[in-house]
């Protein structure tokens, strides 16, 4: 949170574990000082044993594309959808 609040940048992508991502998004939304910033949290599901694929690369690429399109606010970007 300090990095977002103290940075002059207006756009942020935060990689995050999926289990507590909504909690972190709510915390950032409640504590962000500059309401003109875009903060996107994104992550990936940990593949089950025996499965090598992960959605991490797709989710990060989607977040990079969305950070340029979304209005200021705090978002979660996963599986091609921004929440």
Handedness of CA 6, 67, 42, 35 (dihedral sign): positive
Number of domains composing the chain: 1
Residue 39 pLDDT > 80: yes
What pTM value is reported for the model? 0.88
Domain that holds residue 61: 2-46+53-82
Predicted local distance difference test score (pLDDT) of residue 19: 86
* Distance between CA atoms of residues 83 and 21, nearest Å: 11
Predicted local distance difference test score (pLDDT) of residue 45: 67
Sequence-distant (6+) residues with CB within 8 A of 37 are: 4, 9, 10, 11, 12, 72
């Amino acid at each position: 949170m300090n990095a977002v609040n103290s940075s002059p940048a207006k756009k942020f992508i935060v990689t995050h574990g999926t289990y507590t991502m909504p909690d972190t998004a709510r915390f950032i939304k409640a504590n962000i000082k500059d309401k003109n910033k875009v903060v996107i949290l994104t992550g990936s599901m940990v593949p089950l044993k025996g499965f090598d694929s992960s959605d991490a690369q797709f989710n990060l690429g989607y977040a990079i594309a969305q950070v340029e399109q979304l209005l200021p606010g705090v978002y979660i970007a996963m599986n091609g959808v921004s929440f």
